[in-house]
Amino acid sequence: MVQDPRPKAIDLFAGPGGLSLGLSLTGFNVVGAVEWDPQAGQTYTHNIGDHVHIGDITELPPKEMERRLKRSKKIRSNKEITLISGGPPCPGFSLIGRSKIANLIKTGNWEGSDHRHSFIDDPRNQLFQEFVRYVEHFKPKYFIMENVMGMISFKDKDEKPIISVIKEEFEARGYSVDARSLLASDYGVPQARKRVIFLGTRGKKQRIKYPQKISATVSAREAIRDLPAIDPLTGLCVSNRLKPLRWKGYSGSFLRWVRKTPNFSAKITKNATCSIHKTRAVNPRDQAIFPLIRSGEDGDRVLYRDVYPDRLADVENLLPDGYSLSKKSGKYWVEGPPWGGRNDARWGWYDPSKFGDKMRRIRGDRPAPTIVAHLAKDGYMFIHPDQERTISAREAARFQSFPDSFDFSAGGQNPLSSQFRQIGNAVPPLLAIALGSEVLKAMKINPEITLEEIF
């Protein structure tokens, strides 16, 4: 059996495979991956390969991963693993996670040993230790670890910055470690997504450099300008055919990238068509609200709190035929005939003091805001720049820089809500290409693709 000469990598907490995809495109052979979410695992298998273990990483210790890789003849020795990558979930570092913890403390239901919620107290953050165990076992030359920006300002129970705690964990195992926040839009991703990236090198030689920013900036509108329109009443595209690829400059380069790049299951969209370009149908209440929401691109920005309750007259004028505004028990409702399978067709309003920015329109002239997993529940923070609807799964994937060949439905296995969640949790492939290229350069290997070649 001829051995694959490409350096070998393992991707932990792999999600649908954004990091694996970018690393593979640059020239890595990702021989193993682990993902807990079965639907994300299905997406990974469908698009990248069957080398992903779908299950709890705590039930797949690194020694067992080594045995599996040897049985499948992916490696002969654990020394062959050059890179370990991944983003261990640390929900406590996100603003959402921290607000939930604060509420638990306030109500007396927090079981942590410290009111400041130390790194060790939250069992979810112990998944980071699984990443450390894999690094300790395989002793790769390099590792890449990605995490949320909230980590930067976080401290443990001894008031020590978590960034320092994490670096010391790896330094104690012989690694030189750097940590830096990167903005995805600096690397061709049409999204203002910030993440903390840890780069580790065993020893002190040939340390990985952080990728240089490129001059390409792709706006939200430029990233999706060739996609067909969607009927807001159904959430389905009127056609699956893309507009002819006639744009030049950075946006044209980006569109060529997403339209012409195959996935690693040798699948590519044909005849300039797109998949998973669907979203939720817009209910009658929102049909009247969305036209009033403004991004600020042309004039003042208008959010949900600017519409309710001060502009109910405007909402009433925009309601579709058969629907009306009513007030019952001190609350306003939109009511009308059955809609979308609902016989009790009425919709209430969110409290503007708590959900003032519940509905936001994306500015078309800038990179999109951070795509988040909350899209699985609703897309109100991601109203299309120009159409009266929330963004589709394909548009969210475009904002994350995934090729159109990448099918988050896994051939129709995954529902729309799962697709949105996967996309929000993923690492942008173009950012992964930027990072993977730097690892290969540290190894004196020419990457198979770089951002400079794409743009």
Q: What is the pLDDT of residue 157?
A: 65
Same domain, 318 and 193: no
CA distance 182 to 196: 6
The CATH number covering residue 137 comes to 3.40.50.150
**28 and 103 co-located in one domain:** yes
Q: Is residue 398 part of a domain?
A: no
Residues 435 and 292 in one domain: no
Q: What gap in Å lies between CA 221 and CA 227, rounded to an integer?
A: 10
Taking the C-alpha atoms of 79, 85, 88 and 93 in order, what is their torsion angle to the nearest 10 degrees? 130
> Do residues 361 and 341 lie in contact, with contact meaning Cβ atoms separated by under 8 Å?
no
Residue 55 lies in a domain: yes
Average pLDDT over residues 349-368: 96
CA–CA distance, 233 with 447 (Å, rounded to integer): 46
pLDDT in the model for residue 66:
98
Q: What is the structure's pLDDT at 268? A: 58
Give the closest residue to 183 by CA, choosing from 170, 175, 173, 192: 192
237 counts as catalytic? no
pLDDT number for residue 71 = 96
Asked if residue 7 has pLDDT above 80, the reply is yes
Instruction: Say if 342 falls within a structural domain.
Output: yes
Strand pairing partners for 295?
Answer: 301
Residues 368 and 449 in one domain: no
Over range 335-364, report the average pLDDT.
93
CB atoms within 10 A of CB 349: 19
Residue 110: predicted pLDDT: 41
Write down the pLDDT at residue 99. 45
Q: Which of 344, 363, 391 is the last residue of a domain?
A: 391
123: pLDDT confidence band, cut at 50, 70 and 90?
low
86 and 209 belong to one structural domain: yes
Q: Are 414 and 39 in contact (CB under 8 A)?
A: yes
Catalytic option among 14, 21, 23, 90: 90
pLDDT tens digits, one per residue of 188-212? 999 999 999 999 999 987 899 999 9
Specify the pTM.
Answer: 0.92
Give pLDDT, residue 266: 55
Domain count of the fold of the chain: 2
Whether residue 445 sits in one domain with residue 371: no
Confidence category of residue 406, pLDDT binned at 50, 70, 90: very high
The band of 94, judged by pLDDT with boundaries at 50, 70 and 90, is very low
Non-local (6+) Cβ contacts of 21 within 8 A are 47, 48, 263, 264, 402, 406, 429, 432
One domain for residues 338 and 443: no
258 within some domain: no
pLDDT at position 204: 82
- What pLDDT was estimated at residue 329? 86
Higher pLDDT, 73 or 160: 73
In a domain, 366, yes or no: yes
Q: Provide the pLDDT for residue 90.
A: 67
Question: Is 225 part of any domain?
Answer: no
116: pLDDT strictly greater than 50:
no
Higher pLDDT, 446 or 106: 446
- Report d(CA 254, CA 218) in Å as an integer: 8
Asked if 172 and 319 sit in the same domain, the reply is no
Residues 307 and 385 in one domain: yes
* pLDDT number for residue 121: 53
Q: Are residues 48 and 135 in the same domain?
A: yes
Q: Does 416 map to a domain?
A: no
Domain-terminating residue out of 391, 412, 445? 391
Closest CA to 291 of 355, 387, 162, 364: 387
Which of 391, 411, 445 is where one domain is finished? 391
Structural domain harbouring 375: 284-391
The answer as to whether 242 is a domain residue is no
365 and 450, same domain (yes or no): no
Q: Is there a single domain that holds both residue 164 and residue 309? A: no
Which residues 6+ apart lie within 8 Å of 312 measured at CB?
Answer: 325, 332
pLDDT at residue 310 tops 90 = yes
The pLDDT, as a whole number, for residue 347 is 95
Residue 102 pLDDT class (50, 70, 90 cuts): very low
